[in-house]
Structure formats: C-alpha cells, structure tokens
C-alpha cells in the first residue's frame, strides 16, 4: 500500500538550537520533533499523531556527539542508538545503557533511532529507560524560557507522556560517573530472536551494597523498584538477598495483559530476570 500517503504536514529543518527553540515557541502543540522518525512516522501513518509541522532536529550541530567530561558522559539528542553501541566508554562504564542499546529493536533501525527519541516517545516498554533510571541520568531540556535539567525518574508522567512543556525539547541526556567498581546490566525478555518489543526489561546497577533495579513493560512508565535496594543492606547471604529482591518485584510493578503476554507472566519473568541480572552482576553462580 505505498499508494497511501502520510497525512499532510510542513517539514522544517533548523540548523541551530536557537532556531529550533524559536520554531517550538511559535508553533507549540502543532509541531512534532523528528530525529530518526522510527516512532513518529508509524504514529503519523496510523493517524495517532497529525502534526502540522514536522521539525527534523538532525541538522542542529549542537545535538550531535557523545562527549565525556569529569562529571560523566553527555549524549546529544541526535545521537543514534548505533553510535551508543559503538561507544567504548559507554560499553565499559555504563554497561546497562550499552546492553539496552544493543537490544533496542534491530541493527538497521538503530542506525536511525535515537536515545532522546526513545525517552521522548515515553513508551512503557522503552528499552533504554530502565538503564537510565539505575544510572541516575538527567535530561537537559531547552525551552522558550531557558534551560533546565530533569532527573530521569521525574521525566516519565504516564503512557506516552513526559514532563516536557510544549515549547521544550531535549538537548542531551547526561549520565553521571558511577562509583569505582560499579557494574550494571540490562536484560530483555522477548518472543523472537530478532526485533521485538520487551515483554519485560530489567536493568540493575550494583556498587558495593548499593543495588538499584528498574524495569520496562511492567507499569504505565518505566519504573525503579526501590524496595530491592533495602534488601542488600540487611542480613543474609547474597543468594538469600537475591531471592528476597525477587520477592519485592510483584509489589513494585503493575503489569497489564496485552497482545504480547499476560500480566501474570510479566510478573513472573520480571522476578526471574531480576535474579538473573543480579546473579550476573554479583558473581553468584546458580
């Protein structure tokens, strides 16, 4: 059905952050930003979104590039998921994000899809988000009234809803350096070997006694399960603590039934993946 055209829109391609800000300030809710287009174009094809203006951000130089600095790493809003997969620093120091990037959709799509697009689309199933939650990422946002930073845990407001105002856009995602010896990982459960939306995704970070676990596809937004952190300050062997951590999972999530699987299965697999990821990070053999 190549005969069916997309709904009508005007295409704009600003070259600077200021120009992009001015477009958003002027057109607000009538404009949609496009980086890779891998979410926006299907949503327009299904007429879920009918923007009057599609604003391609790839021409804005300031949005490109992965930069490392004393505080951590900054990933520009136009950086593709494949650029993240190819980054040695992200593979070594922020492994949860790297392993999530490698699991996001498929290799071809990843050459267009972006990290900023993945968070702005705000799908409950977004692969990158549990990793950003355990790594404590911050979202750098620019709007008509200036800049602000939003902690990733406050960024998601509901299914496909974010904390962004209509005149605001994501300029970059910052990931702070983690304590020496910290390790992190993302594990995704899906139905097929190739591309699929996560049935459940679990990211974890382990740094001494500090343990953080976050999940996708088990609630209206990607969620941290903070109760798991407390378990590791308590008594018991590591294996006992891992079992206790898994027991915290059902109370920390609220999955739904959908075309992919049942809520009950998601709850079960969320606990299983939690155990697998924690065993891997803590070096516990089973």
Alpha-carbon span 81 to 90, nearest angstrom:
11
Alpha-carbon span 170 to 168, nearest angstrom:
7
Of residues 123 through 142, those in contact with another protein by CB under 8 A are: none
Site string for another protein, 11-30 (x = CB under 8 A): xx------------------
- Interface with another protein includes 259 (CB under 8 A)? no
Rg (CA), the chain: 19
Alpha-carbon span 175 to 152, nearest angstrom:
10
115 in Cβ contact with 169 (< 8 Å): no
Q: Which of 22, 49, 66, 109 binds another protein (CB under 8 A)?
A: 109
Between 19 and 243, CB nearer to another protein = 19
Q: Which of 14, 25, 45, 247 binds another protein (CB under 8 A)?
A: 45
Q: Which of 8, 70, 88, 235 binds another protein (CB under 8 A)?
A: 8
- Interface with another protein includes 195 (CB under 8 A)? yes
Q: At what angle do helices 238-252 and 263-282 cross, to 10 degrees?
A: 150
What values do phi and psi take at 76, rounded to 5? Answer: -65, 155
Give which of 112, 128, 131 is closest to 120, Cα–Cα: 128
Select from 21-29, 106-114, 128-136, 154-162 the region that touches another protein (CB under 8 A). 106-114
- Interface with another protein includes 239 (CB under 8 A)? no
- Give the footprint of another protein on this chain (CB under 8 A): 1-2, 4-12, 36-38, 41-42, 45-46, 54, 56, 58, 105-109, 111-112, 193-195
């Amino acid at each position: 059905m190549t005969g069916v055209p997309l709904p009508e829109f005007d295409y704009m391609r600003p070259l600077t952050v200021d120009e992009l800000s001015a477009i958003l300030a002027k057109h607000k809710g009538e404009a949609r930003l496009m980086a890779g287009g891998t979410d926006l174009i299907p949503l327009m094809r299904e007429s879920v979104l009918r923007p009057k203006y599609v604003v391609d951000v790839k021409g804005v130089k300031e949005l490109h590039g992965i930069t490392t600095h004393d505080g951590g790493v900054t990933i520009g809003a136009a950086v593709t998921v494949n650029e993240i997969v190819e980054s040695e620093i992200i593979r070594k120091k922020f492994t949860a994000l790297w392993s999530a990037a490698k699991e996001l959709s498929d290799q071809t799509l990843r050459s267009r899809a972006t990290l900023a697009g993945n968070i702005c689309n705000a799908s409950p199933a977004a692969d990158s988000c549990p990793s950003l939650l355990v790594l404590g990422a911050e979202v750098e946002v620019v709007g008509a009234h200036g800049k602000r930073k939003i902690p990733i845990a406050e960024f998601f407001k509901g299914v496909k809803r974010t904390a962004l105002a209509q005149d605001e856009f994501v300029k970059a995602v910052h990931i702070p350096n983690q304590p020496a010896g910290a390790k992190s990982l993302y594990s995704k459960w899906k139905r097929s070997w190739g591309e699929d939306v996560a049935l459940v995704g679990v990211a974890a970070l382990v740094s001494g006694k500090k343990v953080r676990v976050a999940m996708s596809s088990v609630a209206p937004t990607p969620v941290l399960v903070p109760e798991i952190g407390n378990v590791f300050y308590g008594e018991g062997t590591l294996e006992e603590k891992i079992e206790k951590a898994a027991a915290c999972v059902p109370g920390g999530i609220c999955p739904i039934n959908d075309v992919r699987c049942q809520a009950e299965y998601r709850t079960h697999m969320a606990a299983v993946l939690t155990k697998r990821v924690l065993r891997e990070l803590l070096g516990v053999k089973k």
